[in-house]
Amino acid sequence: MQRAPRIFVILATVLVAFLLGGCASGRSQDGVSALLPADAILLGEQHDAPEHQQAHARAVRDLSSRGRLAALVVEMADAGQTTAGLPPQADEAAVRQALQWNDKAWPWAAYGPAVMAAVQAGVPVLGGNLPRVRFAAVMQDETLDATLPPPALAAQRQAIRAGHCDLLPATQLAPMARIQIARDQSMARALQAAARTGQVVLLLAGSGHVDRQLGVPQHLPPGFTVRAVRLQAGGTATAAPAFDTVWTTPALPARDHCTALRQRLGR
C-alpha cells in the first residue's frame, strides 16, 4: 500500500477547518426543545462565528436543565476522550486534560462554556473526531468511497476542492474526501454509543458534518432519529433538504479565507 505524501496529511490537518464549516447568517433561533423528540440533535456551526459557540452553550443548558441531555459529543476532541469519570465540580484544567483538548485548533475560550455547562450538569462530554494519527491510513482506504451514494461522493469531493481553495491536485480529492467520510463515521459511532431512551445526544460540529446528504446522518442506522441544524452567519434562513432547520446569526466581516490559506502555505 502506497503511503500518503506527508504534504497532503499536513493539508488535511491544517485545512480541514476550512472545509464545510458553514457559511451563512442573521439571528440565532436556538430553541432546541422544538426539535424533540429525537435520538440526537446535530448543531452544525461556522467555526469562526462566536455566536454559534454561544448557541452551543445555550443548547446544552436548555437540554440539561430539562434532564433531557444524555451526552454531549464534540468534533473538537478525538474519539475515545471523555469526561465521564469526572465529577460535576471538576475544574477546567481537569476537563481539558480528560478531553486532551487542542487549544490551538479549537480555542477553549470559544468552546469551553458549552463543555463546562455539560460537565457541571453531570452530563458526559465525548470526543467524536477521528484522531489525526489515522489520517494517512484513511486516505488510502478505498472502501470508504462506497459508504456514500455516488452523487453524494461526487458532491463531497467537490466540496473538498472548493473548501481547499483549489490548492489540491485532482489526484488528492478522493483521499481527502475519505478523511471527511471517516470523521463523519467516527462521530456517528459516538452518537450511537451515547444514545439513551427518552433523552437526546447533542453533537457540536462544523455544518458540513451535520449535512443530511453528505455527513454524519449518512452513517447512522435506520430508526436512529436525528435533527440536523445549520447555524448560519448572515443572510436569510432558507429551508434546504440537507438540514431540518437553519438558525441565523449576525453576518461576519468579509474575510478572504483562500488568500490567508495561500499565505500560510507559502503559495
Q: Cβ–Cβ contacts within 10 Å for residue 136, how many?
A: 17
Spatial contact of 206 and 24, defined as CB atoms under 8 Å apart: no
pLDDT at position 19 over 90? no
* pTM reported for the whole predicted model: 0.87
Q: Mean per-residue pLDDT for 186-200?
A: 98
pLDDT value for 239: 61
| CB atoms inside a 10 Å sphere around CB 213 | 17
- The reported pLDDT for the residue numbered 170 is 93
Q: Given this model, what pLDDT does residue 3 score?
A: 46
Rounded mean pLDDT, 7-25? 41
75-101: average pLDDT: 98
Question: pLDDT by residue (tens digit) across 220-238?
Answer: 999 999 999 999 988 776 6
Can you give the residue ranges of every domain in the chain?
6-264
- 137 vs 13, higher pLDDT: 137
Q: In this predicted structure, what is the pLDDT of residue 153?
A: 97
pLDDT of residue 163: 86
Identify the architecture of domain 6-264 in CATH. 3-Layer(aba) Sandwich (3.40)
Helices (H), the chain: 6-15, 50-65, 92-99, 108-120, 135-139, 150-163, 173-194, 207-210, 257-264
Q: How confident is the model at residue 23 (pLDDT cuts 50, 70, 90)?
A: very low
Q: Each residue of 129-162: pLDDT tens digit?
A: 999 999 999 999 999 999 999 999 999 999 999 9
- In this model, does residue 8 exceed pLDDT 60? no
> How confident is the model at residue 241, as a pLDDT?
85
- Mean pLDDT on 253-259: 82
Where is 79: in which H helix or E strand? Answer: none
Residue 54 CB coordination number (10 Å): 16
Count Cα atoms within 13 angstroms, Cβ side, for 174: 11
Of 34-48, 183-197, 253-267, the least confident: 253-267
Q: Specify the pLDDT at position 267.
A: 58
